[in-house]
Each structure stands twice: as structure tokens, then as C-alpha cells.
Amino acid sequence: MALLAAVHEGATLTEAAGSLDALSPADRARAQRLAATALRFRGRADAVLAPLLHRAPRPETADLLRLAVTEMLALGEAPHGVVNAAVAAARAGGPKAAAAAGMVNAVLRRAAEAQAAWDAAPPARLPDWLRSPLAARWGEAVAAAIEAAHETTPPIDLTGKPGATLPGEALPTGSHRLPPGARVSTLPGYDSGYWWVQDAAAALPVRLLDPRAGERIADLCAAPGGKTMQIAAAGAQVTAIDLSPARLERVAENLRRTGLTADLVAADATAWRPETPLDAVLLDAPCSATGTIRRHPELPLIRDGAMIPDLVRVQAALIDHALSLLKPGGRLVYAVCSLHPAEGEAQLAAARTRHPGLVVEPPDLPGLDPAWVVDGAIRTRPDHWADRGGLDGFFIVRLRIPG
């Protein structure tokens, strides 16, 4: 309830996690899982509840009903226990919530019988500011497939150092996949730092960059450092820049665990310039993160499209600066974990107009589905690899400046 209330106030689930400090680690993990699941399935929960409600309940009562319905109909928990717990929670929630305890009891008893309605209900619809551009680019069916993919609890993917043995299922692109909820820190190789957690799509930008031993490479937006580690593991000399000193500390921690090295710089990347030009730059730019809704189901509730123009401006400034850091013939990989075409496909088109000599180098990577390559760039979506558990949404392109 505290997590969902914080999301209604605009917080991410990660930001809200501090409200759980009084709980044991196991209870905290359960609360986080339940809140995330209720957010993923909010479309079905509201569809089941709407016909059972005579008028809109107060926001915290609505959250209580959604949580209880999710436990019963998505997670298969016994209705008796769930209804009792929800009624007890309503009674403990102050006089106004307590007044609704009878209604909570009656509604949930009926909702417990509504498995067929739950199964037939559509997934939560994306907000129009995001759905419209997706449907315009890929069609209604793909927009619906993306919404369906947002209901799945994502698996955990790992990237390893070259030659490392990784737990989990080997994926065609080189990552390894563990089932959702796997306790990563207990697995062989974690303490030795042989591998780290990174979505299979998030591992592609550095595979496309193809860093070589001895090359000088900048990772302009580096924190928490998944891609910095990939570049360092390839033997390149990497400078990791990030605007946020606190987030840069996470890069330092990750490098310590994996025994890899990088030069760390806390700075605005557009104000940073090395003494001599670079072989390559990775720009994993700040973005709407709309490609990660599977992992952050609260995003559609706490973001709106108003931020897109500002992000597009920052990304364009970062691209222009990144190109100016390269030696002749150097390469830039631009990546965003966004589904919004303004941050991906249109951003690339605008960059090519501003820099007419730029060459797009189409990917030649093992395991890459040819359907993900569009006009020389990689476009992954959460509905890709649906039978394997999906993929984060990324736009990734490799650009080379004239030699």
C-alpha cells in the first residue's frame, strides 16, 4: 500500500523502497514483488473491479482492492486468506478506510469468482502520448503486443567477461538468462565478479561498438556501469563519465566487484573533452526509459510526454559533442532504452541531416534477429523473443565519421 501510494505521488518503486525499511528482507522483497505485479496487471484488476463497484472508492481503498484481486487472480493465492487480510488492512487504515471494510469484503468475495473475466480482460493500455507514436510506427497489433509483453515479469539476464562460464540459459546474442526472481548474489561466479546483470538488449550497444584491446574509448553516460564493464572487459582503456557523482559511485562499486578498471569522471559529458581524440565513444543517452516498462511497471503512471522534447534536445547535444571527440574515422554508438521514435529513429535522421558525412554501419552480430534491424539500426521491443521471456526496448546505431 505504501509503495502504491508513493507511485501515485510520482515516485518510482525504487525511490519508494525506503518506506519499507522496517520490514525484514523477505517481507520487503514480497511487498516489492506484489506492488510491481499489481501495477503490471492494473488493466485486468480494474476491469474485474469496475462492475462490482457502485462508486469510485477512495484511492487507498482502490489500491487495497487491486492488490487483493492481483493476489487471488494473478498469483493464485487462496481467496479466504486474501479477503481476510484485505479486510483487516482496511480496518487498520483509519476511520474512513475502516468504513469501507464491509464493501471490501463483499467486492472481493465476488471478485474471487471472476477468474474468467480476469483472463479475458485486456492488458493495461499505454498512455496516449506513448501509444500513439508506437501504433503510428508499427501498427495497432504491435502496440497491443507491447502492452501484453508489459504484463510479463522479466527474466534476469547476465553478461560475462570473455571466456567466463555463466549460469542460466545461453541466448543467441551471448547473454545468459535466469528465471524471474533468481537470487543472483548466491550463484557461482557472482562473488568472483565473472559476470553482471544486464538485459540482453542492453548488452547489444557494446557488442555493436566492438571495443578492441588498447583502444581509447569514452562511455559518456556510464552509470551504473554495465556497459563500462563490457568495454573494460574487452581490454580497452575506458573513461566513464556521468553527471551524477552518486550514480558514478555505483560504477566504482561494480568495477571493484568485477576487478575491472576505468577512469571515472563526474561531469556533464557535453563539457568534457580529452586531450587527444578518441577511437570510439559510447553514448547511452538519458531517455524516457519507455523500453524498460517490463522492469519498471510504474513508469506509465508517473511520466508524461511533456519530457520528450527536452530529452530529444539533450540527446542531440550529446550526439554532436560525442562526434566532436572522435579521431578521423572514429565510431560512435548511440543507444537509448526508449520505445519512443523521437528518441531513436527520428533522432538518427536529424543527426544525419546535421552531419551529412556520417555513415551508418549496419550490425553484423551473432544471434541478432534480422527483423530487429531497420535502416541499419537495431530496434528491440519488449514483444521480441516473446517465447523466451522478452527483451527490453532499445534503439541502437553505430555511426562512423569520415576518415
- Catalytic residue positions, numbered: 337
Binding range to ligand SAM, per CB under 6 A, among 98-106, 131-139, 169-177, 219-227:
219-227
Residue pair 292/392 in contact by the 8 Å Cβ criterion: yes
Answer whether 196's CB lies under 8 Å from 258's CB. yes
Which grid coordinates are listed for 62?
482502490
State the nearest-atom distance from the C-beta of 124 to ligand SAM, in Å.
24
Distance CA 178, CA 183 (A): 9
Residue placing its CB nearer to ligand SAM in the complex, 225 or 389: 225
Query: Closer CB to ligand SAM, residue 87 or residue 222?
Result: 222
Binds ligand SAM by CB under 6 A, chosen from 42, 66, 227, 379: 227
For residue 154, the minimal CB distance to ligand SAM (Å) is 16
Per CB under 6 A, the list member of 242, 298, 383, 392 interacting with ligand SAM is 242
Q: Cβ(335)–Cβ(222) under 8 Å?
A: no
Q: Residue 224, annotated ligand binder?
A: yes
Residue from 124, 204, 221, 339 that binds ligand SAM (CB under 6 A)? 221
CB of residue 338 vs ligand SAM: minimum separation in angstroms?
9
* Closest separation in Å from C-beta 108 to ligand SAM: 40
Place of cell 565513444: 281
- Beta carbon nearer to ligand SAM, 43 or 286: 286
Residues 6+ positions from 274 with CB-CB distance below 8 Å: 216, 218, 239, 325
Of 144 and 223, nearer to ligand SAM (C-beta) is: 223
Nearest alpha-carbon partner for 157 in 402, 367, 378, 398: 367
Q: Is 269 in the site for ligand SAM (CB under 6 A)?
A: yes
Q: Decide whether 42 or 303 has the Cβ nearer to ligand SAM.
A: 303
Region of 103-111, 121-129, 184-192, 216-224 interacting with ligand SAM (CB under 6 A): 216-224
Compute the least distance from the CB of residue 192 to ligand SAM, in Å: 21
User: Could you say which of 43, 167, 286, 376 contacts ligand SAM (CB under 6 A)?
Assistant: 286
User: Rounded distance, CA 212 to CA 200, Å?
Assistant: 21
Q: Is 257 in the site for ligand SAM (CB under 6 A)?
A: no
Minimum distance, C-beta of residue 391 to ligand SAM, in the bound complex (Å): 15
For residue 284, give the nearest of 262, 307, 314 by alpha carbon: 314
Shortest gap between Cβ of 242 and ligand SAM (angstroms)?
A: 5
How far from each other are the two terminal CA atoms of the chain, in whole angstroms? 58
Alpha carbons 343 and 322: distance in angstroms, whole number? 16
Contact stretch for ligand SAM (CB under 6 A) within 105-113, 161-169, 225-233, 372-380: 225-233
Torsion over CA of 224, 229, 230 and 232, rounded to 10 degrees? Answer: 140
The only residue of 166, 222, 236, 308 in contact with ligand SAM, by rule CB under 6 A: 222
Does 12 bind ligand SAM (CB under 6 A)? Our answer is no
Q: Is 284 in the site for ligand SAM (CB under 6 A)?
A: yes
| Interacting residue with ligand SAM among 191, 268, 320, 369 (CB under 6 A) | 268
When asked if residue 252 is in the footprint of ligand SAM (CB under 6 A), the reply is: no
Q: Does 238 bind ligand SAM (CB under 6 A)?
A: no
Determine the size of the site formed for ligand SAM (CB under 6 A): 19
Nearest to 395 by CA among 335, 330, 317, 315: 335
244 part of the interface to ligand SAM, by CB under 6 A:
yes
Between CA 64 and CA 36 the distance in angstroms is 14
Chain positions contacting ligand SAM, by CB under 6 A? 220-227, 241-244, 247, 268-270, 284, 286, 337
> From the annotation, which residues make up the binding site for S-adenosyl-L-methionine?
221-227, 242, 268, 284
